[in-house]
Amino acid sequence: MKSSLFLLLSLLFAFLSCSDPKAEPASAEPAAPVQTQENYLPDLPAMTGEDFNWFVVNCTGIDYIMSSPDFSMSVSGQNDVRGDLGGISQNPVRRPKSCKSIGIIIYKSGSDRMFLGDLYADENCQYIVFRKDDKELYANALSAEGYQRFVNVFNQLKNMNQPK
């Protein structure tokens, strides 16, 4: 019995003497940049489900007023409007404080304004914030196709403004 106790204590002593108290545990991971809540604007829900369906069914026109690049255009007709609305995802989005709106979108039902949308469409920020009566209500991500549609329009504008 003394020999087993001696063996156990010897193993314990050997184990403790081999460990380096200054070494970090093996499970420590490299520090990643911290994304704190301070880097983001308050979360908004995404427009989804019945609210989104109501929006799609009742929207009859869209006016785009862009500040970067500077242009405006209107979309009307059920197929064109629904095509543009198809570029809006029903997924929520985190809104980094560093994102800048590149324009305003006016969603209409007949002559009535349904929502005002702040458009964020660059490589890092791809979403729309829907407002009504100056109150932010929803923040929906753009789908990949929706974002690509804006990229295509911006590229066409650049090509039109190139000297020939």
Residue 58 neighbours by CB under 8 Å, 6+ apart: 109, 114
Whole-number pLDDT of residue 153: 87
List, as one string, the DSSP characters of 113-157. EEEEEEEEESSS-EEEEEEETTEEEEEEEEPHHHHHHHHHHHHHH
Question: Structural domain boundaries of the chain?
Answer: 42-160
Each residue of 3-13: pLDDT tens digit? 443 333 343 34
* Percent of the chain's residues with pLDDT above 70: 75
Q: Rg for the chain (alpha carbons), in Å?
A: 28
Q: How confident is the model at residue 157 (pLDDT cuts 50, 70, 90)?
A: confident
Taking phi first (over 0 means left), then psi (-120 to 50 degrees means alpha), and beta for anything else, what does residue 146 get?
alpha
Mean pLDDT for all residues in the chain: 83
Q: How confident is the model at residue 163 (pLDDT cuts 50, 70, 90)?
A: low
Q: Which residues pair with 96 in a beta bridge?
A: 40
Cα 162–chain centre separation: 32
Each residue of 3-58: pLDDT tens digit? 443 333 343 344 334 444 444 444 455 454 555 668 999 999 999 999 999 999 99
Taking phi first (over 0 means left), then psi (-120 to 50 degrees means alpha), and beta for anything else, what does residue 20 get?
beta
Q: How many CB atoms neighbour CB 120 within 10 A?
A: 23
For residue 36, the SS3 value is coil
